[in-house]
Amino acid sequence: MTDNTHIPEVHVHRHGAVGHLSLNRPKAIHSLTLAMCEAMIAALLEWRDDDDVKAVILDHAEGRGFCAGGDVTLLRRSALEDEGASGRHFFDVEYKLNHLMFTYPKPIVAFMDGITMGGGVGISQPAKYRVATENTKFAMPETGIGLICDVGGGWYLTRLAGRLGQFIGLTGARLDGSECLAIGLATHYVPHERLSEVKARIISHPDDIEGTLEGQSFAPPEARIASNYAIIDRLFASDRFEDILAGLEADGGEWAAKELKTLRGKSPSACKNVLKQLELGAACNTFADNMAMELRGASRAINRHDFAEGVRALLVDKDNNPQWQPATPEGVTDEMVESLFAPLPADQEWKPL
């Protein structure tokens, strides 16, 4: 692990007894690079072993989003240029960061104030306190770029109520702050205008983070997703993608039609892979087991056709017209899905720090 504690893309501060990590890559909505992950790991390890540090704040320095994810254009380049080797290394380090946060002995407070997607989910969900605001836009949109819902999605999504995880993972549904609070992805809801005060109080009283957050929390607007719990559980009940599509088609309602149209635009391979990922993630006994499974899936997925094609359509050429292969769910065989999650060579298997 190189010491990248001091890089411009992550501000690393100490405020008395509180460590402070602030993502600072605003033009890319703070999407994570390898150097950013390494810098955060270095700081967290230093603070973990420092008895004077009592808590950690994680936020973003400026701009409209907390973290839009990992740098997928970098991952696409890896797939095209080095058979995914540098991409696999990025995932390995990113997942070490995710696991370090998940097992961290001191409270981390993540402020999900804005876009929180993909890799942004990976660094907010392990935090003990996850603060949503009226600006929060949470999503796991990986099926739109041929990837799986990695960075811990197999763990977090499968531990939501009912079939919410399958719905969120397949559709890439964007949730606002009140929805995140309602389903447990956030622990508190605080208006954006109060965040500076909240952070100042945490720094002043790191021994009473709970009291500070409770004291500054507001009752959010009613969560829109709450009215759809029953239909989600019914129409996303199957672990077979074809069954979900057939159920949405047969329903005939407006909501079902909208979600059917959404799923028709996603990578059929990625949708089947995500359903398998969530099935495997639900069976994992530890977060580390889940991350090892996701490293297998993600490192292979970036070398398959749909990832390079999905990133091309969304971010490179921006024509929003991906040509998926296979083009239909029926063309995606069980063997294709199973092989994505098969064990890697021993020296490539993921291990925590």
pLDDT digits (tens, 9 = 90+) for 111-154: 999 999 999 999 999 999 999 999 999 999 999 999 999 999 99
pLDDT at 4: 45
Residues above pLDDT 70, as percent of the chain: 99
pLDDT digits (tens, 9 = 90+) for 40-69: 999 999 999 999 999 999 999 988 899 999
pLDDT at 131: 98
Whole domain around residue 228: which residue ranges?
A: 10-348
Half-sphere exposure of 100 (CA within 13 A, CB side): 22
pLDDT at 5: 58
> Looking at the domain assignment, is residue 109 inside a domain?
yes
Q: Are 181 and 223 in contact (CB under 8 A)?
A: yes
Residue written as tokens 């999905």?
310
> Looking at the domain assignment, is residue 168 inside a domain?
yes
- 12, 69, 178, 247, 249 from 174: Cα distances, Å: 30, 14, 12, 22, 22
Tokens describing residue 70? 């990992």
> Looking at the domain assignment, is residue 87 inside a domain?
yes
**Catalytic residue numbers, as ranges:** 70, 119, 142, 150
> Looking at the domain assignment, is residue 23 inside a domain?
yes
> Looking at the domain assignment, is residue 4 inside a domain?
no
pLDDT at 126: 98
Number of domains in the chain: 1
The pTM for the full model equals 0.96
Confidence band, pLDDT 50/70/90 cuts, at residue 220: very high
Predicted confidence (pLDDT) at residue 74 exceeds the cutoff of 90: no
> Looking at the domain assignment, is residue 353 inside a domain?
no
Query: In the predicted model, what is the mean pLDDT of residues 348-352?
Result: 97
- 268 upstream amide cis, omega within 30 of 0: no
Contacts 24+ apart (CB under 8 A), 193-200: 195/59, 195/111, 195/113, 195/131, 195/133, 198/131, 199/57, 199/59, 199/111
pLDDT digits (tens, 9 = 90+) for 336-346: 999 999 999 99
- 221 upstream amide cis, omega within 30 of 0: no
> Looking at the domain assignment, is residue 5 inside a domain?
no
pLDDT digits (tens, 9 = 90+) for 196-212: 999 999 999 999 999 99
Query: In the predicted model, what is the mean pLDDT of residues 279-302?
Result: 98
pLDDT at 280: 98
Q: Are 328 and 340 in contact (CB under 8 A)?
A: no
> Looking at the domain assignment, is residue 283 inside a domain?
yes
Confidence band, pLDDT 50/70/90 cuts, at residue 1: very low
Return the CATH number at 327.
3.90.226.10
CB atoms within 10 A of CB 353: 12
Query: How far apart are the C-alpha atoms of 172 and 117, rounded to whole Å?
Result: 9
Tokens describing residue 173? 């549904």
Query: In the predicted model, what is the mean pLDDT of residues 3-22?
Result: 88
